[in-house]
């Protein structure tokens, strides 16, 4: 008698190893394997009980009290707040994120100096790592620990620290259950493929990655366009030190990792042929989003394009689905998560002066190794699956001759 197949998350041993990978022991690996499968079970099985609780208990109780059904996601959240199933699910999701941070920090902090020294060696005499201690982290970032990460992306405990980036890099494989690929670069690979299909043979001169983090999704574009100068900008010095060393260890040398605030870019008008970002705007404020888009408009070259992977718009979703997706805003230190969901990006682009451009919306699927799990259809884990909503615009003119290397 054959046993039923158990659909497990990829083991932590399948995570891609590179020159900056922290050394994980038996207990570290066991923790990450537990967390990966716990996250997978929560997102594929346990989450469904919320709909059952809402339909069978919560909505009827609300209707008895108010004489009508909940009208929107906010009323659904109010109604669900006291339900024991939702409380259990919500508590477990929050606990999983906190355990993920604890697991990553316990791994990297005990080898923080060794990781720092490794990064120093890989970054020695580098002219493509440009740090600026005068760059200030804006309050919309400094006031929170993004997704429960103590100190967020910027914490430094020793000179030239890289531990924040090492923690983020190590734990993300478990959080995303392999859906981003072995090197967590599925989004960048997807964008590179999208560009190659939309503009075959095009060779952009310069690419700008906004809020690059440690460069998970910068490296694939640098590899896809090896003759292109790639500029990767972020606020966090630990992320940039680690990301530059990681890319160098992978043999990728055409990326400049630069510390800066992308609300004000130090580049002349029309400097970049491609501007892109991956899951960046939901970590900026309402005002910052608009200032950044204005800067993109300024630095984008004629014939260039910009594309941004983000949270999907709420338009067209039912209110219960919106309520579930709102969870990260209220429980996972993502205060602008809901704002981005609510923003109609094509309309916003038009309001900011992109009227003469060709505005688009599309979908980018992660491209991952054959042994990694794939997302089927439209299924995703509330922003952490391998499917992204994308928006942007193309700047006229783009002629056939531009597709050839200049």
Which backbone phi and psi does 366 adopt, to 5 degrees? -60, 140
Give the angle 219-222-226 at the CA atoms, nearest 5°: 145
Residues 369 and 90: their CA atoms lie apart, in Å, by 32
DSSP for 273-326 reads EEEEEES-GGGS-HHHHHHHHHHHHHHEEEEEEEEEEEPPPSTT--HHHHHHHT
pLDDT of residue 134: 96
Does position 355 have pLDDT exceeding 90, yes or no? no
Residues 248 and 244: their CA atoms lie apart, in Å, by 6
Cβ atoms 96, 42 nearer than 8 A: yes
pLDDT of residue 376: 59
* Residue range 18-32: mean pLDDT, rounded: 97
Q: Could you report the per-residue pLDDT of 27-73, keeping only the tens digit for each?
A: 999 999 999 999 999 999 999 999 999 999 999 999 999 999 999 99
Q: Which two tokens stand for residue 96?
A: 């999983």
* Alpha carbon separation from 298 to 13, 15, 280 (Å, rounded): 44, 39, 19
Q: Over pLDDT 90: what percentage of the chain?
A: 89
Global pTM?
0.93
Correct CATH for 1-46+83-406 of 3.30.565.10, 3.40.50.150, 3.40.50.720, 3.40.50.300: 3.40.50.150
Query: Which spans in 124-236 are helix H?
Result: 139-142, 163-175, 186-198, 219-224
Question: What's the half-sphere exposure (Cβ side, CA atoms, 13 Å) at 148?
Answer: 20
Question: For the chain, what percentages of helix, strand and coil (3-state, to nearest 5) are there?
Answer: 45, 15, 40
pLDDT of residue 5: 58
Q: Which two tokens stand for residue 63?
A: 């209707």
Q: Where are the domains of the chain?
A: 1-46+83-406
Cβ atoms 141, 2 nearer than 8 A: no
Cα 325 to chain centroid, rounded = 15
Confidence of residue 385 (pLDDT cuts 50, 70, 90): confident
Cβ atoms 163, 109 nearer than 8 A: yes
Give the angle 242-305-360 at the CA atoms, nearest 5°: 110
* Residue range 327-349: mean pLDDT, rounded: 94
Q: Could you report the per-residue pLDDT of 95-108, keeping only the tens digit for each?
A: 999 999 999 999 99
Residue-wise over 2-27: b if at least 16 C-beta within 10 A, else e?
eeeeeeebbebeebeeeebbbebeee
Helix (H, G, I), strand (E, B) or coil at 30: helix
* Residue range 309-338: mean pLDDT, rounded: 94
Spell out the residues 6+ positions from residue 275 whose beta carbon is closer than 8 angstroms to its own.
207, 208, 210, 296, 299, 300, 304, 305, 306, 307
Does position 118 have pLDDT exceeding 80, yes or no? yes
Q: Could you report the per-residue pLDDT of 185-242, keeping only the tens digit for each?
A: 999 999 999 999 999 999 999 999 999 999 999 999 999 999 999 999 999 999 999 9
């Amino acid at each position: 008698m054959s046993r039923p197949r158990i659909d497990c998350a990829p083991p932590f041993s399948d995570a891609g190893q590179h020159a900056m990978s922290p050394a994980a022991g038996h207990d570290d690996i066991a923790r990450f394997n537990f967390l990966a499968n716990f996250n997978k079970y929560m997102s594929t099985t346990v989450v469904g009980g919320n709909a059952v609780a809402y339909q069978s208990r919560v909505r009827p109780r609300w209707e008895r009290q108010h004489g009508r059904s909940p009208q929107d996601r906010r009323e659904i959240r109010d109604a669900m707040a006291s339900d024991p199933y939702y409380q259990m699910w919500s508590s477990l999701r929050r606990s999983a994120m906190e355990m993920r941070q604890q697991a990553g920090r316990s791994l990297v902090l005990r080898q923080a100096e060794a990781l720092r020294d490794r990064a120093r060696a890989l970054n020695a005499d580098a002219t493509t790592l440009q740090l600026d201690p005068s760059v200030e982290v804006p309050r919309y970032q400094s006031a929170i620990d993004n997704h429960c990460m103590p100190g967020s992306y910027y914490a430094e405990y020793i000179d030239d620290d890289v531990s924040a980036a090492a923690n983020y890099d190590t734990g993300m494989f478990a959080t995303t259950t392999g859906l981003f690929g072995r090197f967590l670069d599925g989004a960048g690979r997807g964008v590179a493929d999208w560009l190659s299909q939309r503009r075959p043979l095009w060779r952009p001169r310069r690419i700008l990655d906004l809020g690059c983090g440690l460069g998970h999704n910068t490296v694939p574009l640098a590899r896809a366009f090896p003759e292109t100068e790639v500029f990767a900008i972020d606020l966090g010095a630990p992320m940039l030190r680690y990301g530059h060393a990681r890319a160098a260890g992978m043999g990728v040398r055409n990326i400049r990792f630069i510390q800066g605030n992308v609300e004000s870019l130090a580049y002349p008008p029309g400097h970049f042929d491609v501007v892109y970002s991956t899951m960046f705007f939901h970590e900026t404020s309402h005002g910052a989003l608009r200032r950044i888009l204005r800067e993109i408009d300024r630095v984008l070259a004629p014939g260039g394009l910009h594309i941004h992977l983000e949270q999907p718009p709420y338009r067209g979703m039912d209110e219960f689905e919106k309520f579930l997706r709102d969870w990260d805003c209220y429980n996972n230190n993502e205060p602008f998560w809901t704002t981005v969901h609510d923003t109609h990006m094509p309309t916003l682009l038009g309001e900011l002066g992109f009227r003469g451009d060709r505005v688009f919306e599309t979908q980018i699927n992660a491209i991952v190794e054959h042994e990694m799990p794939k997302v089927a259809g439209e299924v995703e884990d509330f922003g952490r699956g391998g499917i992204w909503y994308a928006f942007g615009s193309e700047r006229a003119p783009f002629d056939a001759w531009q597709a050839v290397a200049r």
